[in-house]
Amino acid sequence: MTLKKKNDMPEFNASLPICILKPMDKVWRISILFFLMFLFLFELPSQAQNKKYFVITGRVVPEAGTKENSVIDVLKNCKESSTIDISKNGLFRVELEFFNEYSLTFKYPGHFNKIILVSTQIPQDVWERSSDFPPFPMVVQLLKEFEGIDKSFTKKPSGRIFYGKGADNFEIENNTIDIQFLEQIGPAKTQVN
DSSP string, the chain: -EE-SSTTPEEP-TTS-GGGHHHHHHHHHHHHHHHHHHHHHHHHHHHHHHS-EEEEEEEEEETT--SS-EEEEEEETTTEEEEEEE-TT-EEEEEEESS-EEEEEEE-TTB--EEEEEE----HHHHHH---PPPEEEEEEEPBP-TT--GGGGGSEEEEEEEETTTTEEEEEE-THHHHHHHHHHHHHHHH-
| pLDDT of 47 | 39
Q: Give the Cα separation of 145 and 64 in Å (integer).
A: 10
First CA to last CA across the chain, in angstroms? 97
Residue 50 clears pLDDT 50, i.e. is over it = no
| pLDDT of 176 | 57
Higher pLDDT, 2 or 185: 185
pLDDT confidence of 12, banded at 50, 70, 90? low
| Phi, psi of 189, rounded to the nearest 5 degrees | -65, -40
Return mean pLDDT, the chain: 78
Q: Give the Cα separation of 5 and 24 in Å (integer).
A: 27
Residue 193 clears pLDDT 60, i.e. is over it = no
pLDDT confidence of 54, banded at 50, 70, 90? very high
pLDDT, tens digit (0-9, with 9 covering 90-100), for 173-188: 987 556 666 666 666 5
Query: What's the whole-model pTM score?
Result: 0.67
Least reliable range by pLDDT among 25-29, 41-45, 92-96: 41-45
Contact between 163 and 170 under an 8 Å Cβ cutoff? The reply is: yes
pLDDT confidence of 7, banded at 50, 70, 90? low
Please state the rounded mean pLDDT for residues 149-161. 83
Residue 49 clears pLDDT 60, i.e. is over it = no
Please state the rounded mean pLDDT for residues 93-100. 95
pLDDT confidence of 122, banded at 50, 70, 90? very high
pLDDT confidence of 45, banded at 50, 70, 90? very low
Range 52-192 has CATH code 2.60.40.1120: yes
